[in-house]
Homo-oligomer: A and B are copies of this chain.
């Protein structure tokens, strides 16, 4: 029997060092569709904690509820039961899995969007946006409209937008999924650099075990739908990590195997 509280509480306070930044307890999310009278249990009893400054990756089979959990953390979805706490002064920044570039804005305006809403001075906006366009390799396309971008370019715009206003918690839903390995590598390194420098807390959904092991302090593995956390694996490699070196380490393959084993336990087919 699982005990869960129906009250949902969200604390906004800056905690002491190494204190938890995100606490999720017994989270359950179910969708009910009236017209089809169907209930979809998207996440069941999800429990995990992310410490302040930690980089956590979530992996799990398609449709297991990863996006759902992230959306709940971002306050975009109400949990059905259970509770979660974010210890942060600002809302977490989110990189959405779906195309989320606003079609009526140019690339630069899209990136500047959170700054604009905050009322940041135009000059400051420009400088910050230029920085992020440079980072994501979109400088040439600053004035282009979203419909003129390739899939990977749109994804990079979303990443730039999430980074632009430098928030404490970063929620990233397969942010590099549509990028070639070269670009992905560059952005991974840039993300790690930013993370190390700023001490952000990052929750990062990925399908690539390689990517998880390259980036994360810990890897959370989810079961198939209804998703729950079936393993919480610390990644033992020192930072900075050398992608090529790491692959020569037996622990890399052991961990890879372990994740694969967990994911294969009860596959959807």
Contacts and interface: CB of A to CB of B under 8 A. Distances in A.
B209 A97 contact: no
A234 interface: no
Nearest to A184: B207
A63 B152 contact: yes
A114 interface: no
Given A36-B143, A178-B177, A62 B98 contact: no
Contacts of A149: 63
A156 B99 contact: no
A264 B184 CA distance: 12
Interface string A23-65: 0000000010100101010000000000000000001111100
Nearest to A96: B151
B267 A62 contact: no
A269 B148 CA distance: 20
Taking residues whose C-beta sits less than 8 angstroms from the other chain, chain A's interface range is 35 or more
Contact of A207 (B144, B179, B263): B179
Contact of A61 (B36, B99, B144, B183): B183
Contacts of A151: 62, 67, 97-98, 174
A89 interface: no
A153 interface: yes
A182 interface: yes
A268 interface: yes
A137 interface: yes
Contacts of A178: 62, 97, 174, 177, 207
A122 interface: no
Given A63-B153, A137-B269, A182 B260 contact: yes
Contact of A38 (B62, B134, B144): B144
Contacts of A183: 61-62, 267-268
